[in-house]
Structure 1
């Protein structure tokens, strides 16, 4: 299937298999060549017999910064919508990847930048 969508952690939206493969290939060669990613939790919700939504919380170490140094660890959640093919295999048709920013609820835009923020006072809520 050539028709697919992938939204990465900064909102880049790739709309077909060629774009998805090109950008992941670039990332794995330049940003993540020695990265270790661990799935911490996976949840699958089948929406009938032919469609499923998958959420996975991940952690990652070993990313390379633009200056060639190792960055700190990251965590996130990726979600996939998958459809069952006629041969029984599952094919992802849409995915979204999101970084987890501990203790923050949203991003606030100001002066051309996004800053993770929380509206709760410490110790309140969750």
Structure 2
């Protein structure tokens, strides 16, 4: 039996990372999209930019049922910044393990920083915008020399 999709906004913005991880573990894109407002947007680690709950749900559902089907997310450093009574920015370092690589092997762990802007609505908090950014330790930027590569200019 599939895990239920949360239908209620969060009581506090601090709950967002755990709710995102719980939604991820359901392997259902609708569970992730339920954490967002109807008109929210989401930018993934490769820069794909989705607008609206349905557009957020669809690619997450695909990924969670294919190359992310065996993954686990673990929360690390988390910071909450309140911007008044009804808006908060949530940042959480996530560690992803168990991704299936294109050759069907299990890829190494990777870290991202999930940043979400949450707004308090009538029943609680929902994300209005989020971006997930890959962490590439020791690198400063990316260079495109035919293929995008993380580089560190300090090593010259």
Runs (4+) off by over 3 Å: none
**Mapped pair 1:41 → 2:77:** yes
**Mapped pair 1:55 → 2:109:** no
Q: Which has the higher strand share?
A: 1
Work out the number of aligned pairs and report it.
120
Secondary structure of 1:40's aligned partner: strand
Q: Which consecutive residues of structure 2, in runs of 5 or more, have no partner in the other structure?
A: 1-36
Q: Which consecutive residues of structure 1, in runs of 5 or more, have no partner in the other structure?
A: none
1:99 Cα offset (Å): 0.7
Cα deviation code 1:23-60 (max 9, x no counterpart): 11111100111211110111000100000000000111
Report the Cα distance in structure 2 between the residues aligned to 1:121 and 1:65, rounded to whole angstroms.
29
Report the Cα distance in structure 2 between the residues aligned to 1:41 and 1:13, rounded to whole angstroms.
25
Pick the aligned partner of 2:133 from 95, 98, 122.
98
Q: How does 1:16-27 map to 2 (within 5 A)?
A: 16-27=52-63
TM-score where L is the length of structure 2: 0.74
**Mapped pair 1:119 → 2:141:** no
Structure number with greater Rg is: 1
TM-score where L is the length of structure 1: 0.90
